[in-house]
A and B are shown apart, each in its own frame.
Chain A
Amino acid sequence: MSEMWINMGPQHPMTHGLWNLRVRIDGEVVLDVDPEMGYLHRGIEKISEDRHYNEVVTLMDRTCYVAGLAWEHLYILASEQALHITPPERAQYIRMTCEEFQRIGSHIMWYAAFVNDIGLMTPFLYGMRDRDLVLDLFQSFTGARMTYEYMRVGGVRNDLPPTFTDQARKVLDWLTDRFREYDQLCLGSSIFHKRCDHLGVLKANDCIAHGVTGPMLRSAGVKRDLRKDRPYARYDAVDFDVAVADGADVTARYLVRMEEMRQSIRILRQTVDWLEHHPGPVMAEHLPRWLGAPYAPVGREGYLLKRNYAKGVGFSAVEEPHGEAQAYVVNEGTEHPYRVKFRSPIFANLSAARQYLVGYRVADIPPIMGSVDPCIGEVDR
């Protein structure tokens, strides 16, 4: 039979965003793939150079729209290092709480989209229903459901409401039960196993060679988690395990993500307890004066005159729900960052598509790509 190239995307239910997977097939067998990204490029790194440090946070929510707070945390860590600011401990715990809830929200979103890809409609509805609770919780202290704009250089915008700890514990209890249901729906189902076992295998060596990180790397048996290996915020003070599986296939990625959500709940129970008993300021006291704690207090003109601030360079790496995200911020002594650079984990994960797609059937592509959890806003930035 003759070979042919087909385009899966940019308008295809499998793509979960705006990107194109070109596939060379011989009948049903995939011979070669060519991922094309860039449809959603907005120039976020360049726009950041024309904004105040705090105003860049608005872009971070749009970078990865299912894990906005994790990306805010990433950028804020780098810019605080560049500006020589130490946030108070309570702000660090609030950020950790945000990031772990965001991990749960992002993984549930992945679960809903992924099971929809393999033809299970009921778990999709369950996932979307339960993610709503995480969004409700975020809304109670940030004021928005997706674009939070909550973190600031030197801390966070506002303290948590007094009802937060009770509500968070109720949500965690609820989610613990729901995760059991998720497993009953997927792992107890023969449809799931027939579509997912031994698919999209990417061994540990290939993962490391292609820079693949996150749940994909851990599903190959590599115990690599930045929260353990390079602790930021106060991750050294909480107790949790790194979720690792052996199969390196789609089922293993499912297992890793489900276990990560359980570990997130474990972390959250500790941070919520800490937050309940340690009130305090959520904003650093000795900020550069022009940064003006919660907002940039003055206009664009007038600040470059007669001022010279300490220069610096900041780098941060955060275990984002999809993998290892990194940020690099250069502070040249003005109120705008001179350069902002991000490393997107999904860009590397998608670029290795040839390694885990070739040799499988066309019908296997949606579950395999679904298990990668692509978020194109972050890939193209």
Chain B
Amino acid sequence: MATEITATEKPNQNPILWVARPMATAARQFAKSLFRPSTIVYPYERLEDPEFREKVAVASGKPIGLGQVWDNYRGVHALNIATCISCNLCQFSCPDLCIEMVTVPGGDPKHPKKCPEIDYGKCSYCGFCSDACPEGCLTMTTRYELSVTKRSDMVYSPQRLNEVFKTKLPMNPIRLARPANEDSILLDVPLCIGCNACARDCPTQCITMLDIPKPEAKAGEKIPKRIWKEPVVNDSDCVRCGTCISVCPKECLFWGTRK
């Protein structure tokens, strides 16, 4: 049965009362606002200030405290360069392609360390990068003030993101558990040439090259020219970044379920 809607506030016959009713309602609110406005005096009162949260919420007459709210806010990123393993997962997971991996000092010259550089002109603050970060070194903070005078200032270099990290702002406490049924890196054995590229570039060093026996030459058969080693992936250390797949020259590594 459909709801019978009736006007709860029937207009009174007296036209003066028509105006008086809403004005009385507004006057009640006006009396309340003399003690404390519903708004927050922004530059002087800041919601992310932990001491101020409860005070503001209670004083302005709001029914809920804002205290617990702000820690998981998705603002400017904080990057801990020291623990970044250059796995590229943040770059891969970015829907807006605003993350670029740039070289930072600290790596060895052959394999330089790369950390994310974020263009906040493109960023949509979706948080997929910090969700994907396996080490928890890229997180989002409560900083939201981003106005700049030059467009190039919107690009935050890894060092600048590291400075945000050093300010110890409240960071997003929610860490998502990795899914139980993730894919593993599998090897297509006949294609592998044992070139060591995957083990060399693995950010977590979870690939080891194991010796395999060189087969005996049979009559009429040629032994393929290759290094007699093959990669073995340690699944518990693997962060599923896919670097090994992209560097493999023979495309012999692929995603799949380990039997």
Contact = CB atoms under 8 A, between A and B. Distances in A.
Given A171-B64, A188-B9, A295 B3 contact: no
B241 interface: yes
Contacts of B234: none
B149 interface: no
Contact of B1 (A122, A241, A302): A241
A183 interface: yes
A174 B21 CA distance: 21
A190 B17 CA distance: 9
B7 A136 contact: no
Nearest to B91: A299
Nearest to B64: A167
A161 B62 CA distance: 19
With most chain A CB atoms within 10 A of its CB, the pick from B69, B88, B181, B245 is B69
Nearest to A223: B2
B104 to A, nearest CB: 21
A189 interface: yes
Contact of B128 (A167, A184, A295): A295
A170 B58 CA distance: 13
A136 B64 contact: yes
Contacts of A54: 128
A167 B179 CA distance: 30
With most chain B CB atoms within 10 A of its CB, the pick from A54, A133, A136 is A136
B3 A185 contact: no
Interface string A131-175: 001001101110110010100000001100101000100110110
B95 A58 contact: yes
9 contacts: A144-B73, A157-B176, A180-B8, A187-B10, A188-B22, A242-B2, A292-B240, A298-B183, A299-B89
B232 interface: no
Given A184-B25, A301-B246, A295 B131 contact: yes
Interface in A171-203: 171, 173-174, 180-181, 183-191, 193
Nearest to A218: B2
B181 A133 contact: no
A190 B92 contact: no
Interface residues of A, number: 71
Given A184-B9, A294-B131, A301-B246, A173 B63 contact: yes
B93 A143 contact: no
Given A133-B62, A256-B5, A295 B183 contact: no
Nearest to A293: B179
Interface residues of B, number: 64
Interface of B: 1-3, 5, 7-12, 15, 18-19, 21-22, 25-26, 29, 38, 62-66, 68-70, 72-74, 88-89, 91-93, 95-96, 124-128, 131-132, 140, 172, 174, 176, 178-183, 240-242, 245-246, 251, 254-257
With most chain A CB atoms within 10 A of its CB, the pick from B22, B93, B179 is B22
A158 B176 contact: yes
Contacts of A180: 8
B95 A140 contact: no
Contact of B132 (A51, A191, A286, A295): A295
Contact of B182 (A185, A286, A289): A289
A187 B184 CA distance: 63
Given A129-B38, A188-B9, A136 B69 contact: yes
Contacts of A303: 255
Contact of B66 (A136, A161, A298): A136
A302 B245 contact: yes
Contact of B3 (A143, A181, A241): A241
A300 B93 CA distance: 8
Contacts of B128: 54-55, 58, 149, 295-296
A259 interface: yes
Contact of B11 (A140, A185, A187, A245): A187
B176 A294 contact: yes
Given A149-B127, A294-B131, A143 B74 contact: yes
A259 B3 contact: yes
A305 B178 CA distance: 23
A305 B2 contact: no
Nearest to B71: A143
Given A139-B72, A292-B179, A300-B92, 13 more contacts: A55-B126, A136-B64, A139-B73, A141-B72, A149-B126, A158-B174, A184-B9, A185-B25, A190-B11, A286-B181, A295-B176, A298-B240, A302-B245
A255 interface: yes
A235 interface: no
A190 B15 contact: yes
A10 B5 CA distance: 36
